Amino acid sequence: MPKSKPSVIVTRRLPDVVETRMRELFDARLSLDDRPMTQAELVEAVKSCEVLVPTVTDTIDAAVISQAGPQLRLIANYGNGVDNIDVQTALNRGITVTNTPGVLTEDTADMTMALILAVPRRIAEGMAVIREGEWNGWSPTWMLGHRIWGKRLGIIGMGRIGQAVARRARAFGMSIHYHNRRRLPGSVEEGLEATWWESLDQMLARMDVISIHCPHTPATYHLLSARRLKLIRPEAFVVNTARGEVIDENALARMLEAGELAGAGLDVFEHEPAVNPKLVRSKRVVLLPHMGSATIESRVDMGERVIINIKTYQDGHRPPDRVLPSML
């Protein structure tokens, strides 16, 4: 990439401070209307820019990448998950892919903890009763939920966010269990007081709350399949702030409707922004519109990571957050 200002196309509106900095540093084409780009517009973008900055709402698949012009050198994703990008195809064409890890860990873990509390304690239901003017006063047996203290939390995917959730859940008196491709070093397990389960199936059958923190990859697509969801105890809750595709959403919705699971807290969905109508109708769920990293602090920090990745690459160095297919 030449040392002059690189041409950068950003697909969505970013916080003002990030856009201002991008305008200073790059020949930046920013989104004026914050509308997700169509596939045709993405193709147009990769034909003209040196750096593309997409988000989770852009599908940068092989069809888009194969039409990229030779000037496209870097896809600097604004986000941690890169399941919206065909990383292997990009690499095959010599295009570097980066993401924004680390900066949204604590906020996503907070939102997870909020859901772990909100669903068993029926927070959204309580709020709805007041909002609809239906509260007739306190009763000893009304609106009873379930205690969190002393319950077993099963974390699927014990990376940065999974561990940040474990730290919070310990403080709420939960015992920590996890399933991960690789077992954590003993010192980390000890620090988190976490028990590793080699078998996901066995862990699922014994937990009170299941929380998903693995990336969406071909290997984790429908990891919580209809078969595995049936292994979960009917008194248990499922929380997902990772990616909707990791759960068979139809099967989950059917089971919640049939009372075969106690509840779910979902921040992500299989076909965003569409949400299964059975979930929307269910009283057993708390649903959020993909807000895990939605704090001004996270979104500014994500922008700064994107800028660092572009600058480093432009200066001829390996960007700090390079994503390789072997990491997925």
Helix (H, G, I), strand (E, B) or coil at 75: strand
Angle, helices 105-118 vs 160-171, to 10°: value is 50
Q: Which stretch binds ligand 8YV (CB under 6 A): 20-28, 74-82, 250-258, 271-279?
A: 74-82
Measured CA to CA, the distance from residue 294 to residue 280 in angstroms comes to 21
Helix (H, G, I), strand (E, B) or coil at 215: coil
User: Is residue 80 near ligand 8YV by the rule CB under 6 A?
Assistant: yes
Q: Which of 65, 85, 90, 104 binds ligand 8YV (CB under 6 A)?
A: 104
Tell me: cis bond preceding 277? Omega within 30 of 0 counts: no
| Cα end-to-end span (Å), the chain | 26
User: Is residue 263 near ligand 8YV by the rule CB under 6 A?
Assistant: no
Choice among 170, 272, 304, 322 that is catalytic: 272
Give whichever of 87 and 207 is closer to ligand 8YV, judged by the CB atom: 87
Does 243 qualify as catalytic in the annotation?
yes
User: Is residue 74 near ligand 8YV by the rule CB under 6 A?
Assistant: no
Q: Which of 295, 298, 296, 320 minimizes the C-alpha distance to 307?
A: 320
Q: Which stretch binds ligand 8YV (CB under 6 A): 59-67, 76-84, 120-128, 313-321?
A: 76-84
Q: Which stretch binds ligand 8YV (CB under 6 A): 73-81, 119-127, 166-174, 196-204?
A: 73-81
Q: Which of 6, 81, 263, 319 binds ligand 8YV (CB under 6 A)?
A: 81
Residues belonging to the chain: 328
Q: Evaluate whether 157 touches 212 at the Cβ level (below 8 Å).
A: yes
Measured CA to CA, the distance from residue 200 to residue 178 in angstroms comes to 9
CB of 128 to ligand 8YV, least distance (A): 26
Choice among 167, 222, 290, 322 that is catalytic: 290
CA dihedral of residues 192, 197, 201, 206 (deg, nearest 10) = -60
User: Is residue 111 near ligand 8YV by the rule CB under 6 A?
Assistant: no
Q: Which of 253, 202, 196, 244 minimizes the C-alpha distance to 223?
A: 244
Site string for ligand 8YV, 32-71 (x = CB under 6 A): -----------------------xx---------------
Q: Tell me the catalytic residues.
A: 243, 272, 290
Residues making contact with ligand 8YV (CB under 6 A): 55-56, 78-81, 104, 292-293
